[in-house]
Amino acid sequence: KNQVEQSPQSLIILEGKNCTLQCNYTVSPFSNLRWYKQDTGRGPVSLTIMTFSENTKSNGRYTATLDADTKQSSLHITASQLSDSASYICVVSDAGGTSYGKLTFGQGTILTVHP
């Protein structure tokens, strides 16, 4: 069964500090992995997408890494800001027989940044 596990469940850090969120998956065959940011009271917004051949991708202060061999991804946030407080969701798409793919969602990591 395809699964996406995220850790930690929640994280509290001080403003200006760095942090790393983890995502482990068992989705096979693998197509791509996305990280979404969901602010309270809003829908998720895509941060990055990585395919099998990509090891790292950045979006401003957000850097995602992918190790397709160990089926792990991480999202590193540099110099955190109060606005980074949100839920971060890892989503993996399989490479099924069609072009559509099936998405498997993680349960999210809730990040709280304190001043």
Partner 1 sequence: ETGVTQTPRHLVMGMTNKKSLKCEQHLGHNAMYWYKQSAKKPLELMFVYSLEERVENNSVPSRFSPECPNSSHLFLHLHTLQPEDSALYLCASSQSRDRGETQYFGPGTRLLVL
Cβ neighbours for 100, distance < 8 A, ≥ 6 positions apart: none
> Residue 27's Cα: distance from chain center in Å?
15
Element (H, E) at 77: strand 72-77
Among 27, 35, 50, 106, binds partner 1 (CB under 8 A): 106
53 counts as binding partner 1 under rule CB under 8 A: no
Is 31 a binder of partner 1 (CB under 8 A)?
yes
Number of residues lying near partner 1 (CB under 8 A): 25
- If the CB atoms of residues 15 and 49 are measured against partner 1, the closer one turns out to be 49
Single residue of 20, 28, 107, 112 touching partner 1 by CB under 8 A: 107
What residues pair up with 53 in beta bridges, in sequence order? none
Candidate list 46, 55, 83, 112; residue touching partner 1; CB under 8 A? 46
Residue 84 φ then ψ, to 5°: -80, -10
Among 19, 23, 33, 34, binds partner 1 (CB under 8 A): 34
State which of residues 11, 13, 49, 68 lies at the interface with partner 1 (CB under 8 A). 49
- Is the previous residue joined to 8 through a cis bond, with omega within 30 degrees of 0? yes
100 binds partner 1 (CB under 8 A): yes
Q: Looking up tokens 């202060």, which residue turns up?
A: 61
